[in-house]
Amino acid sequence: MTDVSSGGVTHHDVVCPFCGLGCDDVSLTVRGNAVEAGEGACGRAAALFRRSADPAPSARVMGREVALDEALAAAAELVSAARSPVYGGLGTDVDGVRALIKLASKTGGSVDHYASTGLFRNLSTSQRKGWIATTLAEVRNHCDLLVVIGPDPSEAFHRLYNRITPPTGRFIKGKRKVVFLGGAPSDEARAQLEGVEIQTIAVPEGELLDALSRLQGLLSDAPAVPGGPDLAALAEGLKGAHYGVLAWSAGMLGGDGDLIVERASIIVDILNVDTRAACLPLAGRDNLIGANQAFLWNIGFPLRTAFRGGQADHDQLLNSTEEALKSGDLLIWTSAFRPEQPPAFEGQLVAFAHPDTIFEREPEVFVPVGQPGLDHRGLAFRTDTVVSIPLGHYRDAGLPSIAMVAKGLRERLS
């Protein structure tokens, strides 16, 4: 729905693409190139949607403003000459990811998303042992006991508790309860949780994995292990819950993150013998989940896959951007959702990026691109992987999509 007035055009029920929650109740007011987010936008979304009335910047080659065709021709020369290109960032919609896959398969090189660290902590567990996961709607409607493991995920998913933990759910009898294990809710989170019973269980720094091991023992009726926080009441609460959910943001769990995720999934397995429980792994900034899904559909491997000699090779460690840059000579950086800075790199840099991106040094080629869900239509995936979210087109600033730019570059390669 749109409202037209002398002050611009206001669009309602806009989908927010930034954190992976896929909130679809945001309003945007557009006046020429200027954009302001209103109702429904958290502080971070409002900042990322905001645009000035200034015209979009031009493409640049070595700091010199050029037409798009000249920038793509210069990028094609660099890519053709590269021995070991690295495709990093990958902050784009599904069509953009597909176009980058085609480009990387033609040129060779590794491909990774800048927010994939948490994703691979989760994937490590699902690959080794599998897990029982749930969706945002299931939590909202069924979960009577939510256990948040580690730091409060709402620091990254600002409207999380509004989305999944209203005081009552469609199939919940009685009052919902949220337990923070090893973290504490922010003031913003507490405001969202008004009417919900909240409990915080402090865990000394570095001992969250041990606490989960003790909780696993209590649920398995193993002898109690001395030390650490008292988890007996939590264990009994999980045993008695109609639908318990363990939630976490793997990117915030530190060095033991993959082991913490595995321990949480084991606890869910134990609970499902006698009751119902599930995991809610939170990830998905800037269409991370959609990028991974597109890789699985097209290649059969997840992210952190490299193309060499016509073959695709997946390696979580060696094909991460950080590792690939150690032997790479060209970084092709793509980030359309936000002005994410590329990592420090001594080699050559081609950037298809947000117009407001600030670089530590001028890229060899810079093409400012449009944001999916603002400058062009697109498709992204929600954090729970099961829902694709359509992104709309609300202004015309003359910025190309990453899909268009990647396709144009591929067509220029001999």
Question: Cβ neighbours of residue 27 under 8 Å, at least 6 residues apart?
Answer: 10, 11, 12, 13, 14, 37, 38, 39, 40, 41
Residue 66 and residue 15 share a domain: no
Q: For residue 244, what pLDDT band results from cuts at 50, 70 and 90? A: very high
Average the pLDDT over each of 163-172, 206-215, 320-329 and give the range with the smallest value.
163-172
Question: Cβ neighbours of residue 226 under 8 Å, at least 6 residues apart?
Answer: none
Is residue 89 one of the residues assigned to a domain? yes
Count Cβ neighbours within 10 Å for each residue of 322-342 and write b for 16 or more, e otherwise.
ebbbeebbbbbbbbbbbebbb
- Cα three-residue angle 97-100-101, rounded to 5 degrees: 85
Is residue 397 one of the residues assigned to a domain? yes
Q: What is the mean pLDDT of residues 105-112?
A: 97
Q: Return the pLDDT at 173.
A: 86
Tokens linked to 306: 């490299």
Residue 323 and residue 236 share a domain: no
225 pLDDT more than 90: no
Is residue 240 one of the residues assigned to a domain? yes
Tokens linked to 344: 């420090």
Q: What is the mean pLDDT of residues 153-164?
A: 94
Is residue 306 one of the residues assigned to a domain? yes
Residues written for the chain: 414
Burial of 46 (0-12, 13-18, 19+ CB in 10 A): middle
* Residue that is last in its domain, among 235, 258, 283: 283
- Residues 122 and 114: their CA atoms lie apart, in Å, by 16
Alpha helices in 221-256 (DSSP H): 232-240
Q: For residue 126, what pLDDT band results from cuts at 50, 70 and 90? A: confident
Is residue 203 one of the residues assigned to a domain? yes
149 with 208: CB under 8 angstroms? yes
Is residue 212 one of the residues assigned to a domain? yes
Q: For residue 5, what pLDDT band results from cuts at 50, 70 and 90? A: low
DSSP string, 48-93: HH-B-SSPPPPEEETTEEE-HHHHHHHHHHHHHH-SSEEEEEEES-
Tens of pLDDT, residue by residue over 326-338, are 999 999 999 999 9
* Residue that is last in its domain, among 253, 283, 313: 283
Domain coverage including residue 379:
59-115+286-412
Residue 125 and residue 272 share a domain: yes
Question: Percent of the chain scored above 90 by pLDDT?
Answer: 86
Tens of pLDDT, residue by residue over 303-318, are 999 999 889 999 999 9
pTM confidence score: 0.93
Tokens linked to 63: 């700091």
286 pLDDT more than 80: yes
- Give how far Cα 87 sits from Cα of 12, 116, 351, 352, 388, Å: 35, 13, 10, 11, 24
Q: Return the pLDDT at 31.
A: 95
- Residues 279 and 264: their CA atoms lie apart, in Å, by 8
Residue 241 and residue 196 share a domain: yes
Cα-Cα-Cα-Cα dihedral sign, residues 111, 115, 120, 123: negative
Q: What is the mean pLDDT of residues 19-26?
A: 94
Q: For residue 217, what pLDDT band results from cuts at 50, 70 and 90? A: very high
107 with 328: CB under 8 angstroms? no
- Residues 68 and 406: their CA atoms lie apart, in Å, by 12
175 pLDDT more than 70: yes
340 with 357: CB under 8 angstroms? yes
179 pLDDT more than 80: yes
- Give how far Cα 119 sits from Cα of 61, 258, 344, 346, 354, Å: 34, 10, 22, 27, 23
CATH number assigned to the domain comprising residue 216: 3.40.228.10
**Cα distance between the two ends of the chain:** 46
Q: What is the mean pLDDT of residues 161-166?
A: 94
227 pLDDT more than 80: no
- Cα three-residue angle 35-40-41, rounded to 5 degrees: 50
Residue 307 and residue 372 share a domain: yes
Tens of pLDDT, residue by residue over 350-388, are 999 999 999 999 999 999 999 999 999 999 999 999 889
* Helix, strand, coil shares, percent, the chain, to 5: 35, 25, 45
Residue 311 and residue 183 share a domain: no
Which residue in the block uniquely carries the two structure tokens 């290649």?
299
131 pLDDT more than 90: no
Residue 96 and residue 38 share a domain: no
Residue 259 and residue 134 share a domain: yes
**Quick count: other Cβ atoms within 10 Å of Cβ 293?**
20
One-letter amino acid at 34 equals: A
Residue 407 and residue 324 share a domain: yes
Q: Return the pLDDT at 1.
A: 63
Tokens linked to 173: 């009898």
Number of domains in the chain: 3
Is residue 54 one of the residues assigned to a domain? no
Residue 81 and residue 123 share a domain: no
Q: What is the mean pLDDT of residues 214-227?
A: 82
CATH number assigned to the domain comprising residue 290: 3.40.50.740
188 pLDDT more than 70: yes
Residue 257 and residue 197 share a domain: yes
Alpha helices in 241-352 (DSSP H): 257-271, 288-298, 321-324
Q: What is the mean pLDDT of residues 123-152?
A: 91
176 with 286: CB under 8 angstroms? no
Beta-bridge partner residues of 350: 332, 365
Q: Return the pLDDT at 49.
A: 97
Q: Return the pLDDT at 124.
A: 79
Residue 80 and residue 93 share a domain: yes
Is residue 12 one of the residues assigned to a domain? yes
* Residue that is last in its domain, among 283, 298, 319: 283
Q: Return the pLDDT at 224.
A: 67
Q: What is the mean pLDDT of residues 57-61?
A: 97
Query: What is the average pLDDT score of the chain?
Result: 94
